[in-house]
Chain A
Amino acid sequence: MPLRQKILAISLSIGLIILIFELVRRKKLREEYSWLWMFTGVVIFILSIWYNLLVFITHLVGAVLPASTLFFFGIFFLVLINLYFSARVSTLSNQIKELAQKHALLESRIDEYYRKKKDEPED
């Protein structure tokens, strides 16, 4: 791997890891999601300092160029992350539905309560 590429890849991955740490530290990103991104950063870092590993994987999956291996796994990983988030969004939508329903029902009970109270003659 040319030196420039190596420097770029290493600095990008270190930057990514620092950014994730910072987001988690400032509580902008919940720990439960951070592992996914941390994993991405670490994988990029390992591949950039250990080029032979990339060559080995390229060999293993039968790709011609190490670049295609990177792209393939990169895109595959993004698909997985998207799928994971779709699942999370589904769960969240369900939770929001439950909350909104409960909210509506409670609000109607509170209305009922105050109406009844208003109708009762004051002593």
Chain B
Amino acid sequence: MDNKKAEILVIIPAYNEEKSIGKVIEEVKENAPEADIVVINDGSTDNTANVARRVGVKVISHPINLGAGAAIQTGYKYALRFPYRIIVQLDADGQHLPTYIHSLANVLKNNSADVVIGSRFLSNQKYNGPRIRKLGMKIFSVVTSFILRQKITDTSSGFRALKRGAVDFFSCIDYPPDFDDADLIILTHSAGFCIKEVPVAMNERESGKSAIAGTKLIYYGFKMLLSIMLTLLRGKPHKERRK
């Protein structure tokens, strides 16, 4: 294991986010100066990697675009090389506010959870998304809460913090390569990890397009329902060590 002193690693998966990534990294540095940052450049065709390198953070580039979930998993695999105890992931589009990194990390430090999700619905902020998306989020939140027997308000939030144990688990399983939302939360639960939500405020997207729009929205709904069903059918997941 290499020597690194920081306790927290912030993973920022990025695909064509040259406009926002610089600012996001600066904000993370400002709000969590003690944390290490790694940008997973998921085969961007723009200048994302260079912009990130210029502000002095570690960049790992996929040779091809693999999907957001795969980028996160690469980040996990990287994290395990070092003795980080807490791994925080946030989007490169400026949606997630780095001011909340500590409120997520603190829950893990208190040992009251293994995985923490930043929920925009627990804060008083109003969510101004399209109605169909709101409805979808509501449905998945109800389904997930029912299965977990624990209230989960924001299943699609990519603003999460994980303990090392959870990261180790997710680095070895077949991590969903495209969307890692409700099905992943259920998987986390069935793997025996304790999940908590903390309220966070989120920005409207600063640039780029949401990964889930148009026909992808329909695919997303279908994929998620199927994936939830299969996750439940498969039962308790096991780690697949593929060395």
Nearest-CB residue, chain B, relative to A94:
B174
With A94-B174, A97-B177, A101-B70 in contact, do A108 and B60 touch (Cβ < 8 Å)?
yes
Query: Which listed segment binds A: B18-26, B73-81, B123-131, B132-140?
Result: B73-81
Residue of A97, A100, A103, A104 with most partner-chain B CB within 10 A: A104
The chain B residues found within 8 Å of chain A, CB to CB, are: 40, 58-64, 66, 70, 73-74, 77-78, 174, 177, 242
A residues near B, CB below 8 A?
93-94, 96-98, 100-101, 103-105, 107-108
Asked if B174 contacts A104 (CB within 8 A), the reply is: no
Can you name 5 A-B pairs with beta carbons within 8 Å?
A100-B64, A101-B77, A103-B63, A104-B62, A104-B63
- Set B58, B59, B74, B174: member contacting A101, Cβ < 8 A: B74
Knowing that A104-B40, A104-B60, A107-B60 touch, tell me 15 more A-B residue pairs with CB under 8 angstroms. Answer: A96-B66, A97-B177, A98-B242, A100-B63, A100-B66, A101-B62, A101-B66, A101-B70, A101-B73, A104-B62, A105-B78, A108-B58, A108-B59, A108-B60, A108-B61
| Contacting residues, chain B, for A101 (C-beta < 8 A) | 62, 66, 70, 73-74, 77
Write out the residue numbers on chain A whose beta carbons fall within 8 Å of the beta carbon of B177: 93, 97
Query: In the assembly, what is the distance between CA of A100 and CA of B60, in Å?
Result: 11
**Which residues from A are CB-within-8-Å of B66?**
96-97, 100-101
Residues in A whose Cβ lies below 8 Å from that of B78 = 105, 108
Measured between beta carbons, the chain A residues less than 8 angstroms from B77 are 101, 105
Interface of A is mostly: helix
Q: How far is the CA of A103 from the CA of B70 in the complex (A)?
A: 13
Q: How far is the CA of A108 from the CA of B57 in the complex (A)?
A: 12
Kindly provide the distance from the CB of A114 to the nearest chain B CB, expressed in whole angstroms.
14
Whole-angstrom CA separation of A94 from B175 in the bound complex: 10
Q: Which residues of B contact A96 (CB under 8 A)?
A: 64, 66
A57 to B40, CA, bound (A): 58
Q: How far is the CB of A91 from chain B (nearest CB, A)?
A: 11
Q: How many Å lie between the Cα of A97 and that of B40 in the bound state?
A: 14
- Is B61's CB under 8 angstroms from A107's CB? yes
In the complex, A104 Cα to B66 Cα: how many Å? 12
* Closest beta carbon of chain B to A50's beta carbon, Å: 44
Asked if residues B174 and A100 are in contact (CB atoms below 8 Å), the reply is no
Complex alpha-carbon distance, A97 and B78, angstroms? 15
Is A105 touching B74 in the complex (CB atoms < 8 A)? Answer: yes
A9 to chain B, nearest CB (A): 42
Q: A97 to B59, alpha carbons, bound, how many Å?
A: 18
* A103 and chain B: residue at smallest CB distance: B63
Question: From A99, which residue of chain B is reached at the shortest CB distance?
Answer: B63
Complex Cα distance A26/B73, Å?
A: 39
A96 vs B77: C-alpha distance when bound (angstroms) = 16
**What 6 pairs across the A-B complex have the smallest Cβ distances?**
A108-B60, A101-B74, A104-B60, A104-B62, A100-B62, A97-B70
